[in-house]
Structure 1
């Protein structure tokens, strides 16, 4: 019979495995692309927004679940007790469940393209999926070469926001670039921060993440640089008229950036203290992107 403490521990592992806060990285590009489109045209189309939002969450579920499967194959997750594969012991089941999520997500995107009689959005999302697969999927496993961050920036920045914007207005605009860069930066920061606590496991599995290559001390300095770059691009874009001035609301996310930088500087080499830093980065990403979109709507 399972004790209550074991049940609580297992429920905590499942909560960590689900990674619910991380799904903001699927939601925010759709929110931002739609907000920019509404600001440009004065109206929004809510059926493609709802379809895209649902599809994006399903596709991210595919990415998370399939990455657990691929990491189980290399052994890099042997100490990751909240891996879905480790919790269930059913790698094949998780693999096919992830593929079902991908199929359903792509069907939602295909519905948008079919209803609009335009395959552009589907093409952009398929490109995102191909890049997402190359991150951990065999034979590419580009994340093991330290290329996960550029892939993350491209997929969740320019590609995702361009697709969301296009689903609203069926055209492209250079006006998406500032928010694409800003959202890409904060999303990439989440992935970057996730490496700090698993340097030993990454080294053992031959994964050369940026934190492995640079060391935790220099990588912590990069967190400062990324946060400084984010707010620098934000303010400069407003001053140059590339972003509407209400988007300065995103400066309200600064306390999360300061907290993240300070924690990284203090505990960058202490895995137990730094393992939840990616969730601080998630808060920074969520609030900055939410406020950017609100600034556009205002």
Structure 2
């Protein structure tokens, strides 16, 4: 826990615990997947899109709340003042609030399946939820083995995008799969960046996050390579005719990507200074994915 968090007033700690900017992580796979669907089929169902967006936000809320609940059981959050469990002092309440969000989100997915008369989207989203549980939930706790970024990539990349595309078209798409790689990478960067400032707590709790395994300096270098990869990859796929040229609008996010990489390279071993890098990563994620999806809509 950084000194900045300790000195925060309680209302700001609650905002830090709820993490409003992070919910773009739930929205963007649906935006981009629906954009690909529109580019390929000229189909866009606004009702299904809105229901899916709402459901995704609720399911991510469950993920965030349940992660705080599960982390409270391992002791890794004992110094985390912006943990929902620590702020509320009621782990059971948070557990059931998380489950309420999950149930409400899944209800929205069921509505989509009923509108389509097709249960496929339910199956995909249940698989995503299963990966989300395995990230922190017992007995798996795969995030403690350093596998969180892989789970994140699969859930918010190929699976999340497949569900979004299918919810609009009830078909599959190779172009959507290719786009999901870019969305999956940039989403995983957000999770990767969240580990830098808490390496001491992770080590103490036995959590083998990628930052613990690699060290902060090598992790900062890995971050640069993965952040940089999304831009030439999108250019290559435009050159091959897989993506429309308008998807290069996502390159407008490059200044934020440079800012993220420079900030982490300079401060990787300074928890107080590097702690905000996940929010810079969210900015990269938001603008790159928003403009990427817009490129498909225009293309």
The answer to whether the superposition gives a TM-score over 0.5 is yes
Contact 2:70-2:136 at 8 Å conserved across structures: yes
How many residues of Structure 1 are paired with residues of Structure 2 in the alignment? 293
1:172 paired to 2:172: yes
- Cα distance in structure 1, aligned partners of 2:14 and 2:150: 29
Contact 2:30-2:164 at 8 Å conserved across structures: yes
User: CA shift at 1:43, angstroms?
Assistant: 2.8
1:134-283 equivalences in 2 (<5 Å):
134-283=134-283
Measured against aligned partners, the alpha-carbon deviations of 1:185-237 in whole angstroms (never above 9, x if no partner) come to 11000000000000000000000000000000000001110112111211111
Aligned equivalent of 2:86: 86
- Cα distance in structure 2, aligned partners of 1:120 and 1:169: 12
Aligned equivalent of 2:106: 106
1:39-58 equivalences in 2 (<5 Å):
39-58=39-58
1:292 paired to 2:280: no
TM-score w.r.t. structure 2 length?
Answer: 0.96
TM-score w.r.t. structure 1 length?
Answer: 0.97
- Cα distance in structure 1, aligned partners of 2:195 and 2:50: 33
- Cα distance in structure 2, aligned partners of 1:7 and 1:275: 15
User: CA shift at 1:7, angstroms?
Assistant: 11
Contact 2:145-2:208 at 8 Å conserved across structures: yes
- Cα distance in structure 1, aligned partners of 2:41 and 2:177: 17
Aligned equivalent of 2:3: none
User: CA shift at 1:8, angstroms?
Assistant: 6.6
- Cα distance in structure 1, aligned partners of 2:7 and 2:271: 25
- Cα distance in structure 2, aligned partners of 1:207 and 1:294: 38
Aligned equivalent of 1:121: 121
- Cα distance in structure 2, aligned partners of 1:235 and 1:189: 20
- Cα distance in structure 1, aligned partners of 2:8 and 2:85: 19
SS at match of 1:77: coil
Contact 2:193-2:278 at 8 Å conserved across structures: yes
- Cα distance in structure 1, aligned partners of 2:277 and 2:178: 26
Measured against aligned partners, the alpha-carbon deviations of 1:100-124 in whole angstroms (never above 9, x if no partner) come to 0000000100111112111110000
- Cα distance in structure 1, aligned partners of 2:70 and 2:201: 15
Aligned equivalent of 1:69: 69
Runs of 4+ in 1 over 3 A off after TM superposition: none
- Cα distance in structure 2, aligned partners of 1:232 and 1:151: 24
The CA RMSD measured in Å over matched residues stands at 1.1
Residue segments in structure 1 that go unaligned for 5+ positions in a row = 1-5
